[in-house]
Amino acid sequence: MVPHVIYCIGFVMLFFFLIFPTSEMESAGLTVDRLFAHLWLLQDDVRIHRRSLQHPQRIQRRKLDLLNLPARSDDAGHLRLYDRTERVHWHVNVLILGLLPVRGRYRHLHRDGLPHRKLDDCRHRGSRHLLLLLLLLLLLLLHPLLLLLLLLLLLLLLLLLLLLLMLLLLLLLLLLLLLLLLLLLLLLLLLLLLLLLLLLLLLLLCLQLMLYVLLITLRLRCSHNSRVKFIALWWCMRNNQEIY
């Protein structure tokens, strides 16, 4: 599990170093070809670890060679890579040994006679190389273009927050408009009701006048109703008619 994690971290570092190299990293020796060979050999170790679960005796000598600086190899391609990055390959394997427990991946090394002091020294150096790996990750985070990307992400988040606020304000405005429309509808309904009441009053007045006219035209003597009598008298005086 640990080689896979280191391989993923190294791949991310290689990606950013390959596309966005810096002069400080190149002056420190972190070149692209070294990192590429580093990752290639680490991937080879991962494949060896997978095959060791099925055929441990076939690659026993290969695992023992990983603890030493290889001076020769049967594979010509591996020999070329060892010549370029032998120290890097050594550091990676020491780091893997330092992270794994004694009874883990390399438990058969004790059975084959590897001294305890050698493995303890590898584990101690592995802890220091783990700190170096963390420092490399810190340098990766301090990369100027990565900081620019982080700032752009923060700006995008701020823009998204502003858009959300604008959407909320628009929703509030829509709600206010809906409330205003409802109030306008209520006012229109009230106006319609008032118009209906006015029409009813006009109808009542018209009916009353029609009744008064009817009473006068029929020449009824309204002795029992003083109001009708007064209106009839006024109507007759206006039309110069006699009251019977």
Is position 147 within any domain? Answer: no
Highest mean pLDDT: which range of 33-47, 52-66, 169-183: 169-183
On the question of pLDDT at 80 being above 60, the answer is no
Is position 222 within any domain? Answer: yes
Identify whether residues 128 and 176 lie together within a single domain. Answer: no
Is position 148 within any domain? Answer: no
> What is the structure's pLDDT at 67?
44
Domain range for residue 105? 2-142
> What is the structure's pLDDT at 85?
42
> What is the structure's pLDDT at 8?
60
More confidently predicted of 181 and 205: 181
Is position 45 within any domain? Answer: yes
Nearest to 89 by CA among 40, 27, 18: 40
More confidently predicted of 175 and 225: 175
Helix (H, G, I), strand (E, B) or coil at 40: helix
Identify whether residues 133 and 165 lie together within a single domain. Answer: no
Overall number of domains in the chain: 2
Identify whether residues 113 and 214 lie together within a single domain. Answer: no
> What is the structure's pLDDT at 124?
47
Q: How does pLDDT run across 121-159, given as a tens digit for each residue?
A: 444 444 555 656 666 666 556 666 666 776 788 889 899
Q: Which residues contact 60 (CB under 8 A, 6 or more apart)?
A: 108, 112
Identify whether residues 119 and 66 lie together within a single domain. Answer: yes
The overall pTM is greater than 0.85: no
Identify whether residues 138 and 165 lie together within a single domain. Answer: no
More confidently predicted of 193 and 242: 193
Amino acid of residue 54:
Q
Identify whether residues 178 and 99 lie together within a single domain. Answer: no
- What is the pLDDT of the chain when averaged over all its residues? 62
pLDDT bucket at 23, cuts 50 / 70 / 90 = low
List phi, psi (to 5°) of 21. Answer: -75, 150
More confidently predicted of 53 and 215: 215
Identify whether residues 11 and 43 lie together within a single domain. Answer: yes
> What is the structure's pLDDT at 167?
94
Is position 128 within any domain? Answer: yes
Identify whether residues 190 and 111 lie together within a single domain. Answer: no
Is position 203 within any domain? Answer: yes
Identify whether residues 86 and 15 lie together within a single domain. Answer: yes
> What is the structure's pLDDT at 159?
93
Is position 91 within any domain? Answer: yes
Identify whether residues 133 and 171 lie together within a single domain. Answer: no
Average pLDDT over residues 36-47: 55
Identify whether residues 128 and 199 lie together within a single domain. Answer: no
Is position 52 within any domain? Answer: yes
> What's CA 171's distance to the chain center, in Å?
22
pLDDT bucket at 170, cuts 50 / 70 / 90 = very high
Identify whether residues 207 and 116 lie together within a single domain. Answer: no
More confidently predicted of 147 and 77: 147
> What is the structure's pLDDT at 26?
54
Task: Give per-residue burial for 22-46: e unless 16+ CB within 10 Å, then b.
Answer: beebeeeebeeeebbbbbebbebbe
